[in-house]
Amino acid sequence: MTRFRRPTARVALGQAVATLASAAIDVSDGLAADLLKLLAASGVGATVELESLPLSAALLGHAGRDEALRLALAGGDDYELCMTVPDDAEARFLQAAADCGVAVTRIGTVAIEPGLRFTRAGTPVELDFPGYDHF
């Protein structure tokens, strides 16, 4: 609850990887919605591997796996960063994150084909999580 009520901005991480990440967005309207914005602005698409999403033990214990996935993808107020990093910068990116004391997780891959796709154990999964709607 502390992370929700008193979020910590990832300013140091953003500054440390500014020259390594090819795109970035803060996640405040849900990962799926904000990732779609990033992809559209970049003119690319992506595949998110559902089993790679970092889900806390507290969330899983409270909501169960399916609801935890929905909350991770469509819930808002995460105050985290979602970034795309070229393969040749990944090691430097991971080191910069570690130097900042921030755990990062690779959740998928960027593709030329526009749109956002989801897989579970390599199998395509149809999901529709629009994210937070301000209006």
Q: Which residues sit opposite 45 in a β-bridge?
A: 111, 115
pLDDT digits 0-9 by tens, 38-89 = 999 999 999 999 999 998 898 899 999 989 898 889 886 667 899 999 999 9
pTM: 0.86
Contact 33, 130 (CB under 8 A): yes
Instruction: Kindly provide the b/e burial profile for residues 40-49, where b requires at least 16 CB atoms within 10 angstroms of the residue's own CB.
Output: eeeebbbbbb
At 133 the three-state DSSP class reads coil
Q: What pLDDT does residue 2 have?
A: 64
